[in-house]
Amino acid sequence: MERRLLAVIRASSAAAAVETARAALAGGVTVLEVAYTTPDAAEAIRQLTEAPLLGAGTVLTAGQAAEAVAAGARFLVSPGVVPEVIAFARRHGVAVLPGAATVTEILTALEGGADLVKLFPAEVLGLKFLKAVRQVLPQARLVPTGGITADNAGEWLAAGAAAVGVGGWLTDGSPEQVRERAGRLVDAVSRA
């Protein structure tokens, strides 16, 4: 159950990312992705050794992938299909989740060796898109990200998502708010 929820941490600094991530962990989240839009994301990854499963997001180059893995990332996420990031992950034995918004992109990601595919932006694509894709590509392990909340996470999982990625709804706010929302998300995912 706990592996069906991925918290996406974007912050204005490494210190803010660590604080937000620790609040999400305190709320029960066990999978964290520190986005490379965060200044010095690698430092945040290095500091989050207590996270059960930690990765790097918005990884756009093999250089970023190498830095993230050296810092301790065990998986890499990209907003789109980035062949050099997928190839790096395959060579170094880390999981990779490229982003996709079309069936062609999903197929390209799977053919390239993606472990899972980030369905992005999920709020724009919608539940009907996920259900339709799952009918023709039942082997595709999709992780919708973008617009996911505690109120709709269960719907996405019921529609066939392997997991859900939650960013802004979870992480915008004080550490107390993040911890409370994390608890609500964990509960919603466990009920799904």
SS3 category, 32: strand
DSSP code, position 171: H
Spatial separation of the C-alpha atoms in residues 1 and 3, rounded to whole Å: 5
- 61 contacts 76 by C-beta, under 8 angstroms: no
* Catalytic residue list contains 84: no
- 186 contacts 27 by C-beta, under 8 angstroms: yes
Comparing CA positions, the residue from 189, 127, 135 lying closest to residue 163 is 189
* Catalytic pick among 19, 67, 118, 123: 118
* Catalytic pick among 2, 19, 33, 131: 33
* Catalytic residue list contains 33: yes
| Residue 102 main-chain phi, psi, to 5 deg | -135, 165
Measure CA 81 to chain center.
Answer: 14
- Cite the active site residues: 33, 118
